[in-house]
Structure formats: C-alpha cells, structure tokens
Structure 1
Amino acid sequence: MDIQQQIDARLTELEIKASYTEDAVEQLNAVIVRQQQQIDLLLRELMHLRQQAPEPGSTPFRSLRDELPPHY
C-alpha cells in the first residue's frame, strides 16, 4: 500500500468518525431540548401549585381530631 492509499484510508476513517460524532451530537441536542421543555413545564406547574396553596399563617393548623365525624 503506497502512501497515498494510506492517507486516503485514514481520511475516510476520519470522515466516518466525524459523521458518527455529528449524529451523536444531534441526538444529545434533541435530548437536551426535550429535557428543557419538560423542566419548563414542571416549573409552570410548580408556580401554579404555589399560587393555589394558602399563605403560611393564613389558615390555622387543624388537627385530624377536629375533623372527627359527629358520632364519635
């Protein structure tokens, strides 16, 4: 195998590796985008739940004994 063939073989191998690397980066980027969308959704849901929750100290603490049915 002459030197030109060795260079061509190495170049082809590098091109194949670069192609696989590009595919892996694209797949990882898609995962990151999906995860960020999930994080954004969870943050919106958390904010919504916090808005629904009563303010601390606004409602007195109630014991479960206070909620016993009348026949007890």
Structure 2
Amino acid sequence: MEEDRLTKLEMLAAEQEKTIEELSAELTRQWREMERLQTKLDRLTDRFLALEEQTTPDVPVTKPPHW
C-alpha cells in the first residue's frame, strides 16, 4: 500500500516536471516571437513616420485673410 502511494507520487512528480519543462519551452518561444514582432513594429513605425514626413506638405506661414 505504501509502495503504491510512493509510486503514484513519483509518477505525479515526473509528470509535473515534464509539464513545467514544456511550459518553460513554450514561454521561451513566445518571448522570442514577441521580441521579433516588437522589432518589426518598431521598423514599421519608423517607416510610417518617414513616409508621413515626406507626404505632409509644408504649410506656409501667411497672415489670416482678416489682417
């Protein structure tokens, strides 16, 4: 009886260790993906701002018509 209980606990511990390792690997994968996406977003933001600066016409400084 005691041996069965110990065997079950050992199996449970082994299953939990495997689950923890799998979760850790998935977390690492997702972290790398988030870093990759953040880098891409930063590049796209820079490109968008550069394009916006190129296409925005310069507004001339003039006096309003009522002057």
**How many residues in Structure 1 have an aligned counterpart in Structure 2?**
58
Tell me, in whole angstroms, the C-alpha distance in 2 between the residues paired with 1:31 and 1:5: 39
The normalised TM-score by structure 1 is 0.73
Flag as ranges the 4+ runs of structure 1 deviating above 4 A.
none
Given candidates 9, 26, 34, the residue that maps to 2:28 is 26
Given candidates 45, 51, 54, the residue that maps to 1:49 is 51
Tell me, in whole angstroms, the C-alpha distance in 1 between the residues paired with 2:29 and 2:58: 44
Seq. identity, %: 16
Alignment partner, residue 7 of structure 2: 5
Displacement of 1:54 in angstroms is: 3.4
